[in-house]
């Protein structure tokens, strides 16, 4: 039971972190010009360099399992309101395609960006909640955003705050700015984009779609492109997974040893209480191998029955916990908690049965050896 609950929580943590990374704005795949590609994604300080992006986007969206592909322009600059100003790190995107990719936008006030491109002079932005607080801005206010254009000159736009958003990370909320692709192009004075973000219908198909897309895009763009998946752009996911896996295997090894010792002691006590019985069996001609087999089968039977009972209890607890609406506290650096769910697969229950049988088989080694070494005379006189 404990093994299933632990595995369910760890898998939920891994799956939740993975999907939060992908649907938090990263997407499954990202296409960028080779000239601005960095080790973990595009160089956000470089000017947009992808010129023929509509054709590239069309080629990407024609692939199976691709929900949508959206252009993105990365922005850095200053946001000002009255006598307050703060640096921002932003992205200009296509809200309609972002919605098709199921990328989450957690609105904490106001409204989301409109799907259609805003007319000149009616540009809108979404501000991170902490950035908005530092500027003293609320939905409906006008702020001025300033950035360097693609030609190296300074440009500024007056934009209306459409809404406030949060990523769940306080540090990111203190710098986050999102706006429409048309606004980003006006601010930077270019019709090029930084990259194209691609969303899939199934995370498990990321490698498959990425390989097929790389082949197709060789003829879809005049400039060399680099295709990266979400793992390459979120290396901390692998680090967190490795840390959790190491802790799990270490604690699992300790539990395995403790269970082996406990069950071995129980089986040994059972053997010692039945020494005269085993002595009688040996005296009437029963082979030592048959007597030893009795002990082993008893251990395996205990393992199977114990595992099945544990599976049943675990299934009940998993359903109760998933339906209980238990709220977990915010992780380090996060601003909001999350509902506790246990991600348990049917194969986990089968694996636990096999694990318990293996544990009992190991635990039965010493009691079995003790049985084989019994002397008939001593066993019959055992008290």
Determine the average pLDDT of the residues in 203-219. 86
* pLDDT for residue 39: 64
- Domain-embedded: residue 2: no
- Domain-embedded: residue 19: no
- Summarised one tens digit per residue, pLDDT across range 83-121 is 899 999 999 999 999 888 988 778 888 899 988 888 888
Position with higher pLDDT, 288 vs 210 = 210
Question: Cα–Cα distance between 197 and 70 in angstroms, integer?
Answer: 5
Distances (CA, A) of 323 to 19, 316, 319: 21, 11, 6
- Nearest-CA neighbor of 71 among 108, 109, 105, 33? 33
- Nearest-CA neighbor of 27 among 197, 209, 166? 197
Residues near 30 by beta carbon (within 8 Å), at least 6 away in sequence: 41, 42, 195, 196, 197, 198, 227, 228, 233
Strands 338-339 and 327-328: antiparallel
- Domain-embedded: residue 49: yes
Q: Which of 233, 262, 285 is the last residue of a domain?
A: 233
Structure confidence at residue 382 as a pLDDT band (50, 70, 90):
low
- Domain-embedded: residue 12: no
- Summarised one tens digit per residue, pLDDT across range 355-372 is 888 888 888 888 888 787
Structure confidence at residue 144 as a pLDDT band (50, 70, 90):
very high
- Domain-embedded: residue 8: no
Parent domain of 255:
237-380
Whether the predicted pLDDT of 220 surpasses 60:
no
Do 51 and 128 share a structural domain?
Answer: yes
Position with higher pLDDT, 37 vs 10 = 10
Determine the average pLDDT of the residues in 55-81. 91
The percent of residues above 90 in pLDDT, for the chain, comes to 25
- Domain-embedded: residue 114: yes
Whether the predicted pLDDT of 160 surpasses 90:
yes
Q: CA torsion, points 57, 61, 64, 67, in degrees to nearest 10?
A: 120
* pLDDT for residue 29: 92
Do 242 and 195 share a structural domain?
Answer: no
Q: Which of 233, 257, 289 is the last residue of a domain?
A: 233
Whether the predicted pLDDT of 314 surpasses 70:
yes
Whether the predicted pLDDT of 183 surpasses 90:
yes
SS3 assignment, position 103: coil
User: What mean pLDDT is reported for the chain?
Assistant: 85
The DSSP line for 310-349 is HHHHHHHHHHHHHHHTPEEPPPTTBSS-EE------HHHH
Structure confidence at residue 237 as a pLDDT band (50, 70, 90):
confident
Do 241 and 228 share a structural domain?
Answer: no
* pLDDT for residue 219: 63
Question: Cα–Cα distance between 320 and 322 in angstroms, integer?
Answer: 6
Whether the predicted pLDDT of 195 surpasses 60:
yes
Do 328 and 281 share a structural domain?
Answer: yes
Determine the average pLDDT of the residues in 329-342. 70
Whether the predicted pLDDT of 162 surpasses 70:
yes
- Nearest-CA neighbor of 139 among 121, 127, 156, 154? 127
- Summarised one tens digit per residue, pLDDT across range 281-295 is 778 877 778 888 888
Q: CA torsion, points 56, 59, 61, 66, in degrees to nearest 10?
A: -100
Question: Cα–Cα distance between 219 and 35 in angstroms, integer?
Answer: 18
Whether 238 and 77 have beta carbons less than 8 Å apart is answered as: no
């Amino acid at each position: 039971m404990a093994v299933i609950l632990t595995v369910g929580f760890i898998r939920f943590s891994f799956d939740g972190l993975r999907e939060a990374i992908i649907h938090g704005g990263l997407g499954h795949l990202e296409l960028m010009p080779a000239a601005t590609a960095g080790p973990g994604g595009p160089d956000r300080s470089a000017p947009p360099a992808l010129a023929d992006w509509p054709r590239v986007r069309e080629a990407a969206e024609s692939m199976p399992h691709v929900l949508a592909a959206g252009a993105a322009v990365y922005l850095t600059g200053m946001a000002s309101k009255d006598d307050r100003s703060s640096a921002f790190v932003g992205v200009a995107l296509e809200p309609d395609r972002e919605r098709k990719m199921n990328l989450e936008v957690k609105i904490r006030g106001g409204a989301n960006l409109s799907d259609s491109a805003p007319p000149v002079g009616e540009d809108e932005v979404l501000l991170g909640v902490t950035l908005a607080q530092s500027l003293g801005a609320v939905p409906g206010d006008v702020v001025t955003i300033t950035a360097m254009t693609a030609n190296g000159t300074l440009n500024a736009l007056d934009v209306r705050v459409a809404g406030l958003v949060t990523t769940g990370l306080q540090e990111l909320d203190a710098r986050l700015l999102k706006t429409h692709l048309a606004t980003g192009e006006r601010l930077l004075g270019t019709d090029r984009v930084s990259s194209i973000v691609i969303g899939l219908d199934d995370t498990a198909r990321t490698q498959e779609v990425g390989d097929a897309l790389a082949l197709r895009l060789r003829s879809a763009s005049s400039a060399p492109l680099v295709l990266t998946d979400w793992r390459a752009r979120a290396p901390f996911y692998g680090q967190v997974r490795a840390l959790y896996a190491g802790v799990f295997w270490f604690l699992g090894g300790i539990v395995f040893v403790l269970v082996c010792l406990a069950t071995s002691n129980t089986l040994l006590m059972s053997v010692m209480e039945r020494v005269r019985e085993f002595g009688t069996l040996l005296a009437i001609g029963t082979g030592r191998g048959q007597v030893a087999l009795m002990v082993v089968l008893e251990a395996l039977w205990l393992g199977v029955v114990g595992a099945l009972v544990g599976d049943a209890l675990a299934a009940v607890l998993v359903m109760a916990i998933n339906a209980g609406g238990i709220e977990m506290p915010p992780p380090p650096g996060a601003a909001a908690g999350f509902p506790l769910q246990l991600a348990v697969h049917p194969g986990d229950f089968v694996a636990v049965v096999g694990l318990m049988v293996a544990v009992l088989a190991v635990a039965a080694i010493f009691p079995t050896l003790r049985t084989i070494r019994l002397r008939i005379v001593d066993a019959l006189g055992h008290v």
